[in-house]
Chains A and B, each alone.
Chain A
Amino acid sequence: MKKTVEKGAHEQLVQISKRAALPGWKSWVIRVLAVLASLIVCAVIIVLFTGDNPFAIYVTMIKGAVGTSRRIWSLLQGVAMLLCVSLAVTPAFKMRFWNIGAEGQVLMGGLATASCMILFGNKLPSYVLLPLVIVASIAAAAIWALIPAVFKAIWNTNETLFTLMMNYIAIQIVSYFTYIWSVPKGSGKIGVINPDTQAGWLPIIGKYNYLLNILIVAALTVAIYIYLRYSKHGYEIAVVGESENTAKYIGINVRKVIIRTMLLSGALCGVAGLLLVSGTDHTITRDTAGGRGFTAIMVSWLAKFNPLYMILTSLLLVFMQKGATEISTVFGLNDSFSDIITGIIIFFIIGSEFFINYSVRFRSRKGAEAK
């Protein structure tokens, strides 16, 4: 590495410079080292604050995530749901459109699903009801995403604030309807919808409750990968993301791309809402999205907006979360402690990206004395 800093009184204590791209194996070594380092830091914290054996805790985490076949299915289901929302935000992110409204978009999709199940559950045959549920959920979420997109495209409003605020509106709308449809009246809980007829429920493949969800998200992952990487739309998204002016110069209709991409983003959130309500919970609460709209941002960024890497990053996060829950059960530690552990590990992983992209050198002793 060449020297980039002059010696003298103004020399900085720490010098940071952008690296040339590291070979793949080197960057993976840094990542693995980061995870190991984080485990060591966590071990120290575990011993200091709880006195428990850190290795026992790590083993418990692994068991909690993949200890039984049910847990593996549950893990895969969790990955599928998080991945679905992450896929949804990714096209927008690639376009540098900061859609942090996925939480609300998922909820609106879920609410549309629940509405159809409640209002038409016992009135329409399932071959009409199911397509209706699917169309309604996708449309509702797409419209919820379309609103900030139109404002951005036409009046250049700040999409970060706009999409964020739309989340709270969606949560309140869901709260309103959970009150309207609550059983018993005023309890704020809808309970499982159509438990006897299962009207509007997505079908189950064999005995595997979550297999359909998982397959749908797997197919979507491949589709979005191809869309972003090989389609004309995907190219346009990348160009708009890099430079709007370049996009305009080469004749891309930027407004159209923004609106089209956000419609796609919303539609995918609608699918997530559909899978959560019709395919999993069969009810809706204001917690149905469960913070996935925000966690998805991390999944997408960590994977550098690559849908295939996102399988790994969402797996990592869900694995940690499932493992953390088991820690609190087995060791009687509050969930917050598990969150601290998870936070430390993620912090190291994000930090490792910094060391992959930049080289850091400390000022030599000599330089310090010379001052």
Chain B
Amino acid sequence: MKKILAVLLAAVLVLALAACGGKPSDEAKDFKAGFIFLHDENSTYDLNFINAAKQACENLGVTPILKTNIDESNDCYEAAADLVDSGCGLVFADSFGHESFMIQAAKEFPDVQFCHATGTRAHTENLANYHNAFASIYEGRYLAGVAAGLKLNQMIEEGKITAEEAKIGYVGAWTYAEVISGYTSFYLGAKSICPTATMEVQFTGSWYDETAEKEAATLLINDKCVLISQHADSMGAPTACEKAGVPNISYNGSTVSACPNTFIVSSRIDWTPYMEYVIKAAMEGTEIDTDWTGTLATGSVALTDVNEAAAAPGTVEKIEEVKAGLEDGSIHVFDTAAFTKDGAKLDSYMADVDTDEAYTPDTEVIADGYFHESEYRSAPYFDLRIDGITLLNEKY
């Protein structure tokens, strides 16, 4: 009896599987692109990638396969291999911790292109089918910082705070270059408009921890920070700002619908141009850059609409003006004349561009009066602690 049942069950399973396989595929949609995301739409960071992936695939008429909530573990390798099995000619992953596992998959499947955002190892791994990408988001953050500086000036003019009280609070995830480069460029943007601005940074030790981000923002607000920005991926900091009525410069995308009274502007990386570029290249079999840096010019560094309800008057115009300066090279974000470290101007700095376990500095990155960020590899390597920024907790 049991045996018969087992055989019957197996037969049903086989039939069910056979029935759903072998659909005729649309010629135009022959190419499949696979995407791996650390979280799902609830994370502002991943949502930004998910939207770009869908947009790029729609523009090119290819079929996307999206895998969300993939841990930075062997699960990522499994997901990548499964996407290859499903016929993907390109596999993309969006989180820093996915990198080791993407490299593992890239070695195993040399005929498939693997692209990884925010990673640092493509230029030293020397694999023909493994690529890194990032964008010069420090320029976007600098522009967002300009909006912050204008808001601070407005508060000073209105007598809400004194010039010395122009203190910005910043919620950061971790203490490595990706975050340091981000908050420093944001601070320098604000300081270029409001010279008395200072900043405090509170780290959460996680890329996505809504409670910790909310607590960090609240701590900064209680510490008399009059404007908050963040580099972490939940809605924790923006909602804390809305509740406290403190202006917020967001990241990854607009948070205006949840924070109509406090959201000023958000910088974000628009990944659509990169995704279109790599999908096309994978389809046509052309080479993909080992290390690709998107810029203002490629449309990769973007700012959302300014929320006039919260921003200072003239913000839109000023941002346009500074943006033009960044594009024509008359303004450099990390101009060594604009910041000091331990009270001194820097003429030379060796950065750890080729990632290694000992963090060995290997590349001179200051030349022509500015720090050359994202030129020797796409992922940021600006990791200087400059004057004017206080790190409240460096345990992460």
The interface of chain A, by Cβ under 8 A from chain B, is 56, 59-60, 62-63, 67-68, 70-71, 74, 175, 179, 182-189, 191-192, 195, 280-283, 285, 287-288, 290, 325, 328-329, 332, 334-335
Chain B residues closer than 8 Å to A325, beta-carbon distance? 67, 69
Chain A residues closer than 8 Å to B72, beta-carbon distance? 189, 285, 287
Find out whether the CB atom of A328 lies under 8 angstroms from the CB atom of B68.
yes
Most interface-central of B40, B82, B395 (chain A CB within 10 A): B82
Chain B residues closer than 8 Å to A74, beta-carbon distance? 78, 82
B368 interfacial contact with A, CB 8 Å? no
Q: A59 to B12, alpha carbons, bound, how many Å?
A: 11
Q: Choose among B101, B359, B396 the residue that contacts A179 (Cβ–Cβ < 8 A).
A: B396
- Distance of B254 from chain A, by nearest CB (Å): 21
Chain B residues closer than 8 Å to A71, beta-carbon distance? 82
Find out whether the CB atom of B99 lies under 8 angstroms from the CB atom of A191.
yes
Inter-chain pairs besides A60-B20, A70-B82, A287-B72, 4 sampled, C-beta below 8 Å: A179-B395, A183-B355, A186-B174, A285-B71
Which B175-194 residues sit within 8 Å CB-CB of chain A? 175-180
B97 interfacial contact with A, CB 8 Å? yes
- Distance of A1 from chain B, by nearest CB (Å): 27
The interface of chain B, by Cβ under 8 A from chain A, is 13, 16-17, 19-20, 40-41, 65-69, 71-74, 78, 81-82, 85, 96-97, 99-101, 103-104, 120, 173-180, 205-206, 352, 355-357, 359, 383, 395-396
Find out whether the CB atom of B40 lies under 8 angstroms from the CB atom of A63.
no
Chain B residues closer than 8 Å to A282, beta-carbon distance? 74, 100
Chain A residues closer than 8 Å to B180, beta-carbon distance? 186
Find out whether the CB atom of B40 lies under 8 angstroms from the CB atom of A334.
yes
Q: Choose among A70, A186, A329 the residue that contacts B176 (Cβ–Cβ < 8 A).
A: A186
Q: A242 to B262, alpha carbons, bound, how many Å?
A: 61
Q: A189 to B69, alpha carbons, bound, how many Å?
A: 17
Residue of B nearest to A189 (CB): B97
- Distance of B15 from chain A, by nearest CB (Å): 10
- Distance of A25 from chain B, by nearest CB (Å): 9
| Sampled A-B contacts (30; CB under 8 Å) | A56-B20, A62-B16, A62-B17, A68-B85, A74-B82, A183-B357, A184-B120, A184-B176, A186-B174, A188-B173, A188-B176, A188-B205, A191-B100, A192-B100, A192-B104, A195-B104, A280-B73, A281-B74, A283-B73, A285-B73, A287-B72, A287-B73, A290-B71, A290-B73, A328-B68, A329-B67, A334-B41, A334-B68, A335-B68, A335-B69
Chain B residues closer than 8 Å to A290, beta-carbon distance? 71, 73
Find out whether the CB atom of A59 lies under 8 angstroms from the CB atom of B20.
yes
Residue of A nearest to B72 (CB): A285
Find out whether the CB atom of B97 lies under 8 angstroms from the CB atom of A191.
yes
Q: A334 to B37, alpha carbons, bound, how many Å?
A: 12
Find out whether the CB atom of B85 lies under 8 angstroms from the CB atom of A70.
yes
Find out whether the CB atom of B176 lies under 8 angstroms from the CB atom of A62.
no
Find out whether the CB atom of A188 lies under 8 angstroms from the CB atom of B396.
yes
Q: A290 to B73, alpha carbons, bound, how many Å?
A: 10
- Distance of B13 from chain A, by nearest CB (Å): 7
Q: A266 to B342, alpha carbons, bound, how many Å?
A: 50
